[in-house]
């Protein structure tokens, strides 16, 4: 026993010592590479033979370290490989691109191509070492279940005393899966760099890069990094880039740089002149106006002109929907962006913009449903379906029920998994959207007419958008009542669409069955594309993501879900939809010319959109819905705040700490956009940002934003003036070497001047004039504050608050705007 314990201890010590030696060797190789290139002025030095040999040695050390001690040194090895071997080379190329020749570009292209091969090798090796099954997630998985793979058989048949490498321990499985995710993102980045070397606007490398990013997203739907990279890849298409940045910020693990990327994109769109109506396509007009609207919704900025902007977007959406098949991807992305913005506003608390956003999303929902109704009715004009003749082609009733509900053994064929996952990527990329139009028809009838109708329905590209909007409404049942009171045409359009879809559903799928409470539904391509979106969590909780439906069944499953959603909707209190004698009917007809229609409109009238009041009716519904929500939220807000809350007023001056600008810039931008406060940036904070800009992305982002605001002469952002400093005596000052305390005292001196010397302009004497904004967290943690920061601020007579708490408190209260002097 003692000998065995000694052997184990020695083996553990040797493994740890080997890992340390490999890490030291890798660090030394990285240091020598950095020293070699420190004085390089041309790109030729980066591809010199000596440098290439150093990089090869560094890659070898990092790969050995990666699989020797993955949990201890895995992330460091990955970072060294990416940063020193590939990223630095590309950045130097971009910095000296003006002097590049064809030979240098060819050398860079060869270097990037070798990187693709290296990361493919790492991806295969991590599957081999960790025995990962990535089939249906990556293009080239390592198939362990197939014969002809001697390595897997060798491990299984290895003799007990044989000295051979063994797979990674079980506790390394999560690391291996995350490493595969990061390898796919690195492959996408390398392909994106190759696409930037091409002359054409669209090239094969850009498509390959997007494919790698979508595979990384399929491997880890909770990660926001793939969407951030997709947004960067789509920089030429502002609308699609904004869609991906919003998806990144909505994910469970958002990338911190996506916030700045999105705001920079929205600022760029706002600064451009509006496109001329007679010279642009309807889609161009819609995307420009819609991004302006999303900026107001997402940043919770000034609401002036919001009503007219919403009406313009809806009227332009009607023009876009006149070509539904060509613009199906655009409408899908617009609907998802509206859902995300509405969900963000509702989570931030009662706010007037949340009402307007919900009203706009429901109006968009109504227009999309009306267009789908027209398209479905056009399909039925050629050959009317007969539901009693429809049977599942090649399936019995039992088989069809098994397709819709989870079976006891959810194992599916391998080609099914691959096809369904690919569809999830296709739905998210415009480049491959056309392939969905030629998909196999869904479950059809036994006769030829039924097959033709099913094929026509599967080609209606707006039906996935309708399904997504239904998923959103499933989780926002609280807005059904105000929507019914506003007498919106949404209920009539939904009733018409559901009635038209009923004959297409196979008798094997009883529409009276309620939506399940457990995860038993099959995921559709739009569900896979939006997996991980927080706004759709209520609907996605009913999906079993391990299941995959046949491609020919997807359309039928979508129709069944829509009709069962109609059943669920008709049972909600206050709903404007009812299900009577096998038909859907609206409970409350739309007001037309100030009167209420006594009889329900026919399905033909609903499908064609007649009698809805045209442009005037659209504007009336929008105003009515927004007014109802505003009335309710004002009552809720008054009950929460009380009389004291209604009489309170915010301080006019805000002074940010350095860490707030680095880590919480989005909240400062929202506060400035509200035009209720004046942001005063201390000179010491500006100096600290200048020191941090080399190592902090947030510091660089803050500097760019402050420069832009000061350059255009913003009335709500300014820097500290030279005389705006008042001593805190008799408080004892810290020494300069106590960096956190010294910085706090310099900021408090600025706050002290603003509090004591600035004119109050009629404000009460007990009301604070300035608030110091800091980051949340325990004292001395990530906020960059000394442990006694709160006590120091109180002693100096300065109000200090967390920036997130401050923004949540004052951006949801309707207070007069500050007039800066």
Q: What is the DSSP letter of 254?
A: -
- The region of weakest confidence among 415-424, 453-462, 794-803 is 415-424
**What does the pLDDT read at residue 9?**
52
**What does the pLDDT read at residue 805?**
85
**What does the pLDDT read at residue 655?**
92
**What does the pLDDT read at residue 620?**
58
Question: pLDDT category, 11, cuts 50, 70, 90?
Answer: low
Question: pLDDT category, 761, cuts 50, 70, 90?
Answer: low
**What does the pLDDT read at residue 714?**
81
- pLDDT of 645 > 70? The answer is no
- The region of weakest confidence among 289-293, 378-382, 479-483 is 378-382
Question: pLDDT category, 439, cuts 50, 70, 90?
Answer: very low
Which two three-digit tokens encode residue 596?
């209420």
3-state helix, strand, coil in the chain (%, to 5): 65, 5, 30
**Average pLDDT score, the chain:** 76
Burial of 220 (0-12, 13-18, 19+ CB in 10 A): buried
Using a cut of 0.75, tell me whether the model's pTM lies above it: no
**Interval 709-739: pLDDT, tens:** 888 878 889 888 888 888 888 888 888 888 8
**Highest mean pLDDT: which range of 307-311, 360-364, 754-758:** 360-364
- The region of weakest confidence among 11-20, 26-35, 604-613 is 604-613
User: What one-character-per-residue DSSP string does 124-175 give?
Assistant: HHHHHHHT---TTTSSS---SSSSS-HHHHHHHH--TT-----PPPGGGHHH
**What does the pLDDT read at residue 422?**
33
Question: pLDDT category, 397, cuts 50, 70, 90?
Answer: very low
Alpha helices for 348-396 (secondary structure H): 352-382
Q: Could you tell me the domains of the chain?
A: 15-145+171-248 (1.25.40.10), 273-628 (no CATH), 651-810 (3.40.50.1010)
Q: What average pLDDT score do residues 661-675 get?
A: 86
Rounded to whole angstroms, the maximal C-alpha distance in the chain is: 95
The reply to whether omega before 730 is within 30° of 0 (cis) is: yes
**Interval 496-516: pLDDT, tens:** 999 998 888 877 777 667 777
In which element (H, E) is residue 656 found?
strand 653-656
- The region of weakest confidence among 97-106, 237-246, 585-594, 786-795 is 585-594
In which element (H, E) is residue 773 found?
strand 770-774
**Interval 156-181: pLDDT, tens:** 444 444 444 456 677 788 889 999 99
**Interval 690-715: pLDDT, tens:** 888 888 888 888 998 998 888 887 88
CA-to-CA distance for 370 and 734, rounded, in angstroms? 69
3-state secondary structure 20-38: HHHHHHHHHHHHHHHHHHC
**What does the pLDDT read at residue 765?**
59
**Interval 84-118: pLDDT, tens:** 999 988 988 888 765 567 888 888 999 999 999 99
């Amino acid at each position: 026993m003692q000998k065995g314990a000694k052997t184990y201890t020695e083996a553990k010590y040797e493994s740890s010592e080997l890992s340390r030696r490999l890490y030291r060797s890798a660090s030394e190789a990285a240091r020598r590479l950095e020293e070699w290139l420190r004085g390089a002025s041309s790109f030729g030095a980066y591809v010199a033979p000596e440098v290439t040999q150093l990089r090869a040695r560094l890659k070898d050390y990092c790969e050995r370290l990666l699989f020797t001690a993955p949990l201890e040194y895995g992330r460091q090895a990955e970072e060294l490989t990416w940063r020193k071997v590939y990223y630095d080379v590309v950045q130097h190329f971009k910095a000296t691109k003006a002097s590049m020749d064809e030979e240098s570009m060819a050398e860079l292209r060869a270097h990037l191509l070798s990187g693709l091969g290296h990361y493919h090798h790492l991806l295969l090796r991590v599957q081999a070492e960790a025995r990962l099954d990535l089939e249906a997630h990556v293009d080239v998985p390592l198939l362990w279940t197939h014969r002809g793979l001697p390595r897997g058989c060798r491990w299984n048949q290895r003799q007990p005393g044989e000295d051979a490498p063994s797979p990674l321990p079980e506790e390394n499985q999560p690391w291996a899966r995350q490493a595969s995710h990061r390898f796919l993102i690195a492959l996408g980045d390398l392909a994106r760099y190759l696409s930037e070397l091409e002359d054409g606007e669209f090239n094969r490398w850009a498509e390959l890069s997007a494919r790698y990013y979508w595979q990384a997203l399929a491997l880890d739907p909770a990660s926001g990094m793939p969407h951030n990279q997709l947004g960067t890849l789509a920089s030429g298409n502002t609308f699609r880039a904004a869609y991906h940045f919003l998806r990144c910020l909505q994910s469970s693990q958002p990338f911190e740089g996506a916030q700045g990327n999105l705001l920079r994109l929205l600022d760029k769109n706002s600064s451009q002149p509006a496109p001329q109506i007679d010279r642009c396509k309807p889609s161009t007009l819609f995307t420009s106006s819609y991004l302006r609207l999303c900026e107001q919704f997402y940043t919770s900025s000034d609401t002036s002109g919001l009503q007219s902007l919403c009406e313009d977007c809806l009227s332009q959406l009607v023009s876009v929907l006149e070509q539904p098949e060509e613009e199906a991807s655009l409408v899908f992305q617009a609907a998802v962006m509206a859902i995300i913005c509405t969900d963000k506003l509702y989570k931030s608390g009662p706010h007037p913009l949340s009402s307007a956003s919900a009203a706009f999303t429901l109006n968009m929902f109504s227009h999309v449903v009306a267009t789908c109704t027209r398209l479905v009715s056009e399909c039925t004009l050629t050959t009317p379906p007969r539901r009693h003749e429809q049977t599942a082609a090649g399936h019995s009733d039992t088989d069809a029920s098994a397709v819709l509900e989870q079976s006891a053994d959810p194992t599916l064929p391998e080609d099914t998994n691959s096809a369904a996952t690919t569809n999830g990527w296709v739905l998210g990329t415009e480049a491959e959207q056309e392939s969905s139009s030629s998909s196999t028809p869904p479950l059809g009838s036994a006769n030829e007419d039924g097959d033709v109708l099913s094929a026509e329905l599967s080609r209606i590209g707006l039906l996935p958008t309708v399904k997504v909007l239904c998923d959103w409404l499933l989780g926002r049942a609280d807005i059904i009542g105000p929507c019914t009171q506003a007498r919106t045409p949404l209920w009539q359009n939904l009733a018409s669409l559901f009635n038209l879809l009923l004959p297409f559903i196979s008798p094997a799928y009883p529409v009276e069955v309620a939506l399940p409470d457990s995860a038993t539904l099959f995921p559709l391509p739009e569900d896979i594309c939006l997996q991980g979106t927080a706004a759709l969590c209520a609907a996605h909780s009913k999906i079993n993501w391990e299941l995959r439906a046949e491609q020919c069944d997807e359309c039928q499953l979508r129709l069944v879900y829509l009709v069962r959603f109609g059943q669920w909707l008709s049972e909600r209190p206050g709903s404007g939809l009812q299900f009577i004698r096998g038909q859907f009917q609206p409970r409350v007809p739309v007001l037309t010319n100030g009167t209420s229609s006594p009889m329900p409109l026919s399905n033909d009238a609903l499908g064609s959109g007649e009698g809805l009041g045209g442009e005037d009716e659209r504007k009336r519904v929008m105003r009515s819905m927004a007014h109802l929500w505003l009335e309710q939220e004002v009552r809720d807000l008054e009950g929460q705040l009380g009389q004291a809350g209604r009489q309170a007023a915010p301080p006019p001056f805000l002074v940010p700490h350095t860490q707030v600008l680095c880590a919480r810039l989005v909240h400062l931008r929202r506060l400035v956009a509200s035009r209720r406060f004046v942001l005063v940036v201390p000179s010491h904070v500006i100096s600290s940002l200048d020191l941090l800009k080399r190592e902090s992305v947030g510091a660089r982002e803050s500097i760019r934003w402050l420069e832009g605001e000061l350059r255009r002469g913003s009335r709500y952002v300014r820097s500290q003036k030279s005389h705006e400093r008042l001593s805190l005596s008799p408080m004892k000052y810290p020494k300069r070497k106590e960096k956190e305390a010294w910085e706090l005292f310099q900021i408090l001196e600025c706050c002290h001047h603003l509090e004591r010397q600035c004119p109050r302009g009629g404000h009460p004497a007990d009301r604070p004039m300035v608030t110091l904004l800091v980051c949340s967290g325990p004292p001395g943690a990530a906020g960059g504050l000394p442990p006694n920061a709160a006590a120091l601020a109180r002693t100096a007579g300065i109000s200090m608050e967390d920036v997130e708490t401050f923004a949540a408190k004052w951006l949801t209260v309707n207070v007069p705007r500050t007039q800066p002097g």
